[in-house]
Amino acid sequence: MDSRPSSPEAPPADLWGSILDSVSSSRSIPSKQILLLGQPSTGKSTLAAGLLQKPPADEKEDHATDFAVGYDFANVRDEADEDTLARLSVYTVPSSAPEYTSLLPYFVPPRTALPHTLVMIALDWTRPWTFVEELETWLRWVEKWTRGDGARELEIVREESRERLQAHLQHYSEPSVDPPTAVSSSMSGSTVLPLGPGTLTHNAAGVPIIVVCTKADLFDEGGSDLGTGASGMGGMVRGKGGEWEERTDSIMQVLRTICLKYGAGLFYTTQHPTTLLTLRQYALHMLFLPPAPSLAVASAEPPAPVRNPFPFTQKPNYLDRDRIVVPAGWDSWGKITIMREEFEARTWGDAWEADLEAEGDAPSDGAKALFSALVPDQGIKPTPLPPLNNPTPEQAFLAKNYDENAKRTDRDPRAAFRDSADPMRAAAGLVGPMGGMPSFDLPTVDRVLSEMETGINGNIGGAPPPRAAAAPRRPAGLAPSTSPRQPSGPAGGVPTPTSATGGQSQHEVLQSFFDKLLKGGKDRTSASATTTAPKTNGNGAAEEGS
């Protein structure tokens, strides 16, 4: 019987394509990213340049290209600079304003980027009074970002990331002088100790976090006040002997206590390249943490340890204040208290929890309140704005003044134009320039009629009317009167219409006035016609004078 197959297996349709895909997948370059968070002028551009090993950008250019979300990348090569081991990307935001931070989930979605992302928070040592407040702001945002949309796939990624970070903290051991092959970068099946008090109580997603205090070489350079020094801290305590060291040590203890709760590392950096190189090595080490060992049934042959391609061999350093190195997994409450025994890590841990639970104003026993007492705010306060000038509505203002003036008789503006010594004006109630004009009451009208009648009868012959007697001089500011006032009436007071006209009524006086006007006009017309008409003879021709 022939056991050979009837026909060979058909080769794949795209043989070379499948071979290239398998090779590319086996030799693919892993991509990692760092979210660099910090307020303005905290040294983010210097940190990004050190992480990517690029020359730092000029300050003027950095301000000119400050985008809502900054991005840059670089390839991570081996020591021989032959092979590319990874591609490192750095994302930055100008500040913690929601307008900027809300954009990051679109570029770094937590569902796919969480296992490959590290968060770096930059704090400025020249403004130490802002440390706790800025840490709370950024750590709150990290917790919100890692929660994402709450999908089931994201919850699985969060659990795996937390197990990986917790395993790293539990298996951490201080680097020794032995070769890197024997360091604790590998996770073996050794006994796992539980986490200490106050360790990894937050950061449920297990994202690696590094808190970086920049400009550490400036916090002890200051004069007698804040304005003369480059740093607020130096200007506050410089030249007071042990108080300067106690204050800086207390600040470091507070930062270490907060970092311990999130499983974060604490680093101080300066412009010196060695501090930035140490930070870069630790960031790569945390980005390539091996996964947590599985809890499978122990077999006769233990599994091969998973190694970290970027071991971190730098020893912890908490004595040199300008190059602090506190990696995650090394610190504890006991080590924090060794620096200053009067420091109570538990009290500060509870104060931090009180701030996180408070929804409104910060509680008096919170971490921010305690830290403000330790490091008073000496920043430059903005000039307060002048109080808002809220003018009174126009109608309300006028109504108020009208009511006030109506109650005061001496505020009547018409009183300035009245002449109390003139009874005629007081009786007539005339105000202003009208007072200088003749009063056209009934006695005056009668006198005008008499003058007009006399003038009409006297001017028929062409003789000019006699000039009236000069009026008495009147006070300045009043119009001259056409005729002197003569007292009339029975007692020399204000005349009445009946007494001045011989018992005639007002209508009769007016009717007589207009009748005389009409009659006087006709008389003047007839008189002028008589004097100017030419004489004619019987033949109808005009006679010429001899």
CB atoms within 10 A of CB 345: 20
Please check whether residue 113 is in contact with residue 35, taking contact to mean a CB–CB distance below 8 angstroms.
Answer: no
Quick one: DSSP state of residue 398?
Answer: H
Lowest mean pLDDT among 79-88, 131-140, 318-327, 498-507: 498-507
| Selection from 379, 378, 377, 350 nearest residue 365 by Cα | 350
Single-letter amino acid code for the residue at 383? T
Q: Return all residues near 430 (Cβ < 8 A) that are at least 6 apart.
A: 439
Residues 163-176: what's their mean pLDDT? 88
Single-letter code of the amino acid located at 444: T
Cβ atoms within 10 A of the Cβ of 332, count? 17
Q: What is the CB neighbour count within 10 angstroms for residue 334? A: 10
Higher pLDDT, 458 or 344: 344
Q: Which stretches does DSSP call E strand in 436-487? A: none
What is the C-alpha separation between 204 and 325, in angstroms, rounded? 24
Among all chains, which residue has been given the structure tokens 């705010």? 377
- The end-to-end CA distance of the chain, in Å, is 185
pLDDT exceeds 90 at position 101 = yes
pLDDT of amino acid 379: 73
Top-confidence residue, 496 or 173:
173
Residues forming a β-bridge with 89? 33, 73
Across 181-185, 241-245, 313-317, 506-510, the highest mean pLDDT is recorded for 313-317
Q: Residue range 396-406: average pLDDT?
A: 83
Per-residue confidence (pLDDT) for residue 139, from 0 to 100: 95
CB 311 within 8 A of CB 180: yes
The pTM of this model reads 0.64
pLDDT at position 236: 44
- Alpha-carbon gap, residue 232 to 218, rounded angstroms: 9
Identify the DSSP state of 324.
-
Q: How confident is the model at residue 531, as a pLDDT?
A: 56
Q: Mean of the per-residue pLDDT values for the chain?
A: 75
| CA 259 – CA 264 distance, rounded (Å) | 5
Q: Which backbone phi and psi does 136 adopt, to 5 degrees?
A: -65, -40
Q: Higher pLDDT residue, 444 or 239?
A: 444
Indicate if the pLDDT at residue 455 is higher than 90. Answer: no
Share of the chain above pLDDT 70, in %: 63
Question: Which stretch, 58-72, 321-335, 495-509, has highest mean pLDDT?
Answer: 321-335
Q: What is the pLDDT of residues 192-223, one digit of tens each?
A: 678 889 999 999 999 999 999 999 888 665 43
Q: Whose CA is closest to 101, among 48, 43, 140, 45?
A: 140
401: pLDDT strictly greater than 70: yes
Residues 85, 78 contacting (CB under 8 angstroms):
yes
Enclosing H/E stretch for 36:
strand 31-38
pLDDT over 50 at 427, yes or no: no
Q: Is the pLDDT confidence value at 435 over 80?
A: no
* Full strand arrangement of the beta sheet holding 209-214: 70-77, 84-92, 31-38, 117-124, 209-214, 265-268, 325-326
- The tokens for 82 are 């032959």
Q: Which of 178, 487, 231, 480 is nearest to 378 (CA)?
A: 231
> Tokens 């005061």, residue?
408
Q: Looking at this protein, which amino acid is placed at residue 521?
A: G
Q: Which of 256, 253, 169 is nearest to 206 (CA)?
A: 169
pLDDT in tens, 516-535: 888 876 666 666 656 555 55
pLDDT, one tens digit per residue, over 296-327 is 544 445 566 678 889 998 999 988 888 899 99
pLDDT tens for each residue of 350-391: 999 999 988 777 788 899 999 999 888 877 777 888 888 888
pLDDT exceeds 80 at position 136: yes
